[in-house]
Structure 1
Amino acid sequence: MREGRVSVEIGEAGTQAPSKADRAELPGGWAWATVEDLLVGSDAGKSFKCEPRPASPDEWGIVKVSAMTWGEFRPGENKALLDETLVNDAYEIRAGDVLVSRANTVEHVGAPVLVEEVRPRLLLSDKSLRFQPGSGIDRKWFIYWLRSPTVRKAVAAKATGTSDSMRNISQSDLKAIPLPVPPPSEQRRIANALEERIVRLEATELKLRTAERRLEQLRDFIMSAAATGVLAWDADPKHAPITTSPAVKDGTLPPLATGWRWARLQDIADVVGGVTKDSKSEHDPALTEVSYLRVANAQRAQLKLSQVTKMRVAPKTLAKLRLHNGDLLMTEGGDRDKLGRGWIWEDQIQDCIHQNHLFRARIQERATHPKLLGWYVNSAARSWFEANAKQSVNLASISISKVKLLPVPVPPADEQEQADFVELGERVLARLDRLATACEKGLAHTAALRRALLTEAFAGRLVDQDPEDESAEDLLKRIRAEREAAEAERKAARRAATQTKRKSRAKPHVPASSDAPPASDTPLPEGEQGTLPMEFTA
């Protein structure tokens, strides 16, 4: 173990060391630098017109940001180039490249990947950057560092853009991020130690996510079984499922327990749409300010009410659309597989209404329990909503006339029996919720362990130091020399290209006519005018 810790600041031109307040003591042999200090070059891709399909193997393609989003390079995430005459193969992606997403979602902007395998004829896009680390920089260590909490925090602070879905970061901002650099041999030891531990973390995360998906599938099954009476098989054999409905045979509707029947939603509930927000009414003092629910508040079998907005409406609108305890809210538009999602209103907010992209179903004469209906529309009815929706370019929607025709299971009229179905469903779903919460906690724990590992690694506390290692200062000097040589080579290539272009544009040399008099340095006598021989032929 190298003895002692020292605070090192690189003083060479072009290096931006952290401020004294942020600078931490480093192990001996380490040094502060910036991303730019580790590079011998970098490239920014260009924007091209592309076809909305992946390139075939013999075509040139442009990578999409999704190729750099998920922690590994995905060459299949590309678009076919429309005009291949514009190709500059200097921007072709090659194995060993370090790529960074310059524009992406808040979570993934600045996300790095190491290209290990790549198909030929794939180019950088204008939303991607390529970093070329100098010799002595371990690329896996560099990728791990770019994914560290410190860098993610710096990227979040520098990323620009007003859209919540897309942010941008400049090449100069990325290259200016400071970092502690260990000796080359220690970089490899850190990368190997991180890889070994993170592989185990990823295996645990995969199991937890698989368990989450299975729990979600089981939750859908339990909601459907409770909403059709089938969940009570073991409790009472009289509820064994029947399959007398023709709709069951073609798979459009689930089986019902004995004593249950099918009806249309309009037969058991009043279904209405909501109100459209009018910006002109926002400051009208004659109107009443109330809370209103949006599509974002209606999630799968739950209402999320942490962010509820306000609007002003006329008293008659409030009277018509005020939500009552037991009302079921369902989404009208959005992604096709999310149509109809929503849940039961339970008077959480006084005087609350809903917008026009939510439908409200108010059950008549206690025809069914609201939770039985809510479970049904969030499970078995999902396929019906998808089949009856209309698709626009980006969104799907379903009309209120269609929703009123939704086939719904109706339980026996006995209210106590309905309550028994609800109690059994809630008990089973509560167990699944506890398991899902355990999975969420497990994933949060693995994420915290990953952050801790990266923090320890880049503070020099994950592996031992070796006093025989080449120092980071010597490494940075060597990279600086490589960068200067590479830049000189690039300048020479640009000069050569410019000269070639100038020569190609120069006017061709026109030789003098053979009839012209020979050039003479003897001046003409004053007052004399020279003449040129001229011949005219008929």
Structure 2
Amino acid sequence: MNRGHIRSHDILVVKDGATTGKVSLVREDFPFQPAVVNEHVCLCRPLQRLYSPYLFYYLFSEEGQKRILENFQGSAQGGINQQFAPNVVVPIAPIGEQKRIVTQVEALLTQVNASRERLARVPAILKRFRQSVLAATYSGRLTAEWREAQTDLEPASVLLERIRKERKANLGSRYKEPVAPDMSELPEIPEGWEWVQLRSVSDIKGGVTKGERRREGLITLPTPYLRVANVQRGFLDLSEIKTIEATTKEIEELRLLAGDILFNEGGDRDKLGRGWVWENQISDCIHQNHVFRARLLDARIQPKFISWYGNSNGSQYFVDQGKQTVNLASLSITKLGELPVPMPPTIEQAEIVRRVETLFALSDAIERRVEAAQLRAKSLTQSILARAFRGELVPTEAELARLEGREYETAEMLLERIQKMPTQEKQPSKRRSE
């Protein structure tokens, strides 16, 4: 089978679809032989006396891509045909200059790609850094020295007892004594900390059910609400907020307040329990039934401390306790309430949040700088190619010839010589593009 057979130095061009115009050079080390192209790829085989990598880099450049796509026909799934080639004008340099340009381009792109590879490793490093910060947080290591320097630190047990008494007084006969978490598999925590169930320090509530049938004549109002898509791990995505019809009573009961901790009830198993803290970004916003909110019973408890725990150390609890259906997993309000949470003294919680926010702000700043550097590296590739094909990257053949006092073959002379060559010498294959 010879039609479309791939050889070294061929240039492949995507003909259709979203990647129309994308190009690739078949190098000497191409491992798949024999190989052919299918109907979605144009195979371009440069004439003899032309340097294939030079043509490839031009077609890969922004200018080359623009010239290819000028031949695009059809809708979004349209493309180009074999006739694009005569319409793409390529700036041809003398053969020696072509090779010097390619050598310099590849040397510079090797450096750029090495930098991009190093930058690509940074996000994973930052992710591990954040994980290590949280691991140190909930083991007590993050504030170990700070804790030793304190002389009058009120243990968490005092706060928990105060909450217990207040709840008992407020709830009366409806009050139930808090249940201590099962300590058998929980890690050790510092002296003065306590393991508690989330429901012992917060009021947990589900949200409004979408599409719920209501009594005829009941007045409802369009109300902004949070969906699972809005509640991400460690942040809220409020780029798209939808509204739902809700009664005045529902709005009053479900209105989110600053400091409410949000937890996702359903979705993929590894997303159960993910969430973040509400900060009153939207007035009179409520939440749907697939998002739980936990409202802390004491203002001195730090909601971010609880939410970070649920998103890190506590995430395995949600995976283990989630109920799996055919397509989705879900978390019951009871299981969320039983989440074991380490509770430091309130003053230490505030110090922990301050330290974690400082460290996270540092990692966020590094991440932003890396993203900016990645964009610069991406644009640098095209900047190098643009300079190359403007004749600014290496000395031109004309300049070198003048310096060395010699004659040289101009690009025009090269093309004339190619035109005069017998057809079989011009192109090693009967078909230049398939």
TM-score, structure 1 normalization: 0.57
Residue type at the aligned position of 2:184:
P
Q: Which amino acid aligns with 2:341?
A: P
Amino acid at match of 1:416: I
Q: Secondary structure at the match of 2:257?
A: coil
Residue identity opposite 1:458 in structure 2:
F
Output the CA distance in 2 between the equivalents of 1:371 and 1:487.
66
Aligned equivalent of 2:92: 182
8 Å CA contact 1:263, 1:410 repeated in 2: yes
Query: What SS class does the counterpart of residue 257 from structure 1 fall into?
Result: coil
Deviations 1:47-87 (A, max 9, x none): xxxxxxxxxxxxxxxxxxxxxxxxxxxxxxxxxxxxxxxxx
Match of 1:518 in 2: none
CA contact (8 A) 1:385 1:398 kept: no
Shift of 1:411: 1.4
Q: How far does the alpha carbon of each residue in 1:388-429 deviate from its partner, in whole angstroms, 9 at most, with x for none?
A: 557789x764333585166342313x4333212211222222
Identify the residue that residue 222 of structure 2 maps to in structure 1: 289
| Mapped pair 1:112 → 2:53 | no
Whether contact under 8 Å (1:232, 1:421) holds in the other structure is yes
Distance 2:279 2:253 in 1: 18
Cα distance between partner residues in 2 of 1:459 and 1:132: 24
Q: Is the 8 A contact 1:329 1:359 kept in 2?
A: yes
- Counterpart for residue 189 of structure 2: 256
In the alignment, is the contact (CA less than 8 A) between 1:292 and 1:352 conserved in 2? yes
Query: Relative contact order: is structure 1 or structure 2 higher (C-alpha 8 Å, sep ≥ 6)?
Result: 2
Residues 207 and 254 of structure 2 are in contact (CA less than 8 Å); yes or no, is this contact kept in structure 1?
yes
Show structure 1 runs of 5+ residues with no match: 1-87, 162-166, 249-253, 491-538
Deviation for aligned residue 1:209: 2.5
Where does residue 372 of structure 2 map in the other structure?
A: 441
Over 3 Å counting, the alpha-carbon distance change for 1:91 and 1:484 in structure 2 is closer
Q: 1:119/1:297 Cα in 2 relative to 1: closer, same or farther (>3 Å)?
A: same
The equivalent residue for 1:308 is 240
Whether contact under 8 Å (2:265, 2:292) holds in the other structure is yes
Work out which of the residue numbers 246, 249, 255 in structure 1 matches 2:184.
246
SS in 2 for 1:360: strand
State the distance in 1 between where 2:191 and 2:303 align.
20
User: Which residue, 465, 472, 476 being the options, matches 2:396?
Assistant: 465
Give 3-state SS (helix, strand or coil) of 2:361's partner: helix
Tell me, yes or no, if the aligned pair for 2:196 and 2:343 is still in contact at 8 Å: no
Q: d(CA) in 1 for partners of 2:265 and 2:13? A: 38
Equivalent pairs counted in the alignment come to 381
Asked whether 1:452 is paired with 2:363, we answer no
CA gap of 1:213–1:465, structure 2 versus 1, over 3 A, is same
Q: In the superposition, relative to structure 1, how do residues 231 and 188 fare at CA in structure 2: closer, same or farther (>3 Å)?
A: same
Q: 2:277 aligns with which of 338, 344, 358?
A: 344
Q: 2:225 and 2:301 mapped to 1: Cα distance?
A: 26
Q: 1:488 to 1:329 in 2, by over 3 A?
A: closer
Letter in 2 for 1:246: S
The equivalent position to 1:424 in structure 2, one of 327, 340, 355, is 355
Q: CA deviation at 1:362?
A: 2.9
Is 1:141 equivalent to 2:54 in the alignment?
yes
Q: Secondary structure at the match of 2:313?
A: coil
SS of structure 2 residue aligned to 1:324: coil
The answer to whether the 8 A contact 1:227-1:375 is kept is no
Instruction: Please report the RMSD computed on the Cα atoms of aligned residues, expressed in angstroms.
Output: 4.6
Per-residue Cα deviation, 1:167-222 (whole angstroms, up to 9, x for no partner): 74523399377453323624333322221111111212222222332122111221
Distance 1:294 1:432 in 2: 28
Residue 180 of structure 1 aligns with an amino acid whose one-letter code is V
Contact 2:265 2:272 (8 Å CA) reproduced: yes
Q: CA deviation at 1:233?
A: 1.4
The aligned amino acid for 2:256 is: L
Specify which of 126, 129, 133 is matched with residue 222 of structure 1. Answer: 133
**Matches of 1:455 and 1:170 in 2, distance apart?**
25
| 1:204-247, Cα deviation, whole Å (9 max, x unpaired) | 222222233212211122134334533111222499xxxx9432
Determine if the alignment matches structure 1 residue 172 to structure 2 residue 116.
Answer: no
Task: Pick closer, same or farther for the CA change 1:259–1:171 going to 2, 3 Å.
Answer: farther
CA-to-partner distance for each residue in 1:72-103, whole Å, 9 max, x for gaps? xxxxxxxxxxxxxxxx7856766555445567
Residue among 216, 221, 233 paired with 2:144? 233
Q: Does 1:404 align with 2:316?
A: no
Write 1 or 2 for the structure with the bigger share of strand. 1
Identical amino acids, percent of aligned pairs:
29
C-alpha deviation, 1:452, in angstroms: 1.7
- The verdict on how the C-alpha distance between 1:213 and 1:160 changes in structure 2, with shifts beyond 3 A counting, is farther
Taking a change above 3 Å as real, the CA distance of residues 318 and 444 of structure 1, as seen in their structure-2 partners, is: same
Question: 1:266-415 alignment to 2 at 5 Å?
Answer: 266-275=199-208, 287-305=220-238, 307-315=239-247, 316-332=249-265, 337-355=270-288, 357-366=290-299, 368-387=301-320, 397-401=329-333, 404=336, 407-412=339-344, 414-415=345-346
Q: What amino acid is the match of 2:123?
A: E
Contact 1:220 1:380 in 2 (8 A): no
> Which digits, 9 at most, give the CA deviation of each residue in 1:264-297, with x for residues without a partner?
444444444555666999xxxx653333344444
- Distance in 2 (alpha carbons) for counterparts of 1:154 and 1:269: 63
d(CA) in 1 for partners of 2:338, 2:6: 52
Paired residue for 2:108? Answer: 197
Secondary structure (helix, strand or coil) at the match of 2:222 reads strand
| Aligned-residue offset at 1:325 | 0.8
Deviations 1:318-344 (A, max 9, x none): 334332211223445566555543321
